[in-house]
């Protein structure tokens, strides 16, 4: 009887030992989720205030923790700048995203109308050539009156921000030059070329003119012609008007 009891007790002891051994195994913990950092962005604009028509606006930005950075829906780098000539109110919007997190900076640039800059005054509408004058140094010597009434209009002269010249498209926003056109009373282009304006200096193709007057209704330019035998400089002054 004692021997049989001994065997009966030993069997559960062995099973219990095996059970206790299994319960000691460690279950590996899952890796913690990756930390997603909050993006940041800062934007600066210069100059500030209401910009004269056609003024170059500089926009710069810095950002951190972004996988995607866009400015007005165009992909850009985390740090950068753009410079644009503005002719109307413009909003710059920068968005930085990182997974489901994002940061945004936005600024609206106010731009004055065409009367607020020389570029606007020159390009707003066409001009008519009113008269041509000739000078020796600063002394008037002769003139040719071309238009006095609407019935005696000359060709229309346009200074365009964008146009076609010898089959090539020019854009004032990109290249800094525009296109001028002379259109006769039949509507045909009788002359054209590139132009640029810097301060009071107007360059048309390779000729340089000094801007004497530039207003909403009047436009005058002077160009050097030659040195006369008497040693004086001869100049030509073209005056245009706008209805």
Confidence at residue 148, expressed as pLDDT on a 0 to 100 scale:
59
Confidence at residue 73, expressed as pLDDT on a 0 to 100 scale:
92
From-to residues of CATH 2.60.40.10 in the chain: 40-112
Confidence at residue 140, expressed as pLDDT on a 0 to 100 scale:
94
Confidence at residue 167, expressed as pLDDT on a 0 to 100 scale:
39
Work out the percent of the chain whose per-residue pLDDT is above 90: 62
Is residue 122 exposed (0-12), middle (13-18) or buried (19+ Cβ within 10 Å)?
buried
Q: Which two tokens stand for residue 58?
A: 């500089």
Quote the strand ranges of the chain, DSSP E: 40-46, 56-64, 68-71, 74-75, 79-85, 90-98, 101-109, 127-136, 139-145, 156-160, 162-165, 168-171, 178-183, 189-198, 201-204, 207-214, 218-227, 233-241
More confident residue, 173 or 121: 121
Q: Which two tokens stand for residue 161?
A: 């921000």
From-to residues of CATH 2.40.128 in the chain: 116-241
Cβ–Cβ under 8 Å, residues 131 and 140: no
Q: With 50 as the cut, is the pLDDT of residue 160 above it?
A: yes
Q: With 60 as the cut, is the pLDDT of residue 173 above it?
A: no
What CATH architecture does domain 116-241 belong to? Beta Barrel (2.40)
- Interval 70-108: pLDDT, tens: 999 999 999 999 999 999 999 999 999 999 999 999 999
More confident residue, 155 or 115: 115
Work out the number of other CB atoms within 10 angstroms of the CB of residue 170: 19
Q: With 70 as the cut, is the pLDDT of residue 31 above it?
A: yes
**Could you confirm whether domain 40-112 is CATH 3.90.1720.10?**
no
Mean of pLDDT over the chain: 84
pLDDT confidence tier of residue 205, bands split at 50, 70 and 90? confident
Mean pLDDT of 37-44: 96
Confidence at residue 30, expressed as pLDDT on a 0 to 100 scale:
85
Confidence at residue 184, expressed as pLDDT on a 0 to 100 scale:
82
Per DSSP, the three-state class of 14 is helix
More confident residue, 153 or 86: 86
- Interval 42-53: pLDDT, tens: 999 999 999 999
Give 208's Cβ-side CA count (13 Å radius): 5
């Amino acid at each position: 009887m004692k021997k049989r009891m001994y065997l009966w007790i030993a069997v559960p002891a062995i099973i219990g030992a095996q059970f206790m051994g299994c319960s000691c195994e460690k279950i590996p913990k899952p890796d913690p989720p990756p930390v997603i950092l909050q993006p940041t962005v800062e934007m600066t604009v210069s100059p500030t205030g209401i910009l004269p028509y056609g003024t170059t606006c500089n926009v710069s930005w810095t950002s951190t923790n972004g996988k995607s950075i866009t400015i007005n829906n165009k992909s850009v780098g985390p740090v950068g700048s753009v410079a644009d000539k503005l002719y109307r109110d413009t909003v710059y919007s920068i968005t930085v995203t990182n997974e489901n997190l994002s940061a945004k900076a936005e600024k609206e640039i106010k731009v004055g109308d065409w009367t607020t800059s020389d570029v606007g005054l020159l390009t707003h509408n066409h001009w008519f050539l009113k008269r041509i004058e000739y000078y020796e140094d600063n002394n008037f010597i002769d003139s040719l009156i071309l238009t006095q009434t609407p019935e005696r209009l000359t060709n229309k002269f346009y200074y365009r921000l964008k146009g076609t010249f010898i089959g090539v498209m020019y854009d004032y926003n990109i290249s800094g030059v525009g296109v001028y056109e002379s259109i006769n009373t039949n509507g045909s282009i009788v002359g054209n070329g590139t132009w640029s304006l810097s301060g009071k200096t107007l360059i048309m193709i390779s000729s340089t003119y000094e801007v004497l007057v530039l207003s909403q209704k009047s436009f005058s330019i002077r160009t050097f012609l030659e040195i006369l035998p008497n040693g004086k400089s001869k100049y030509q002054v073209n005056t245009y008007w706008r209805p």
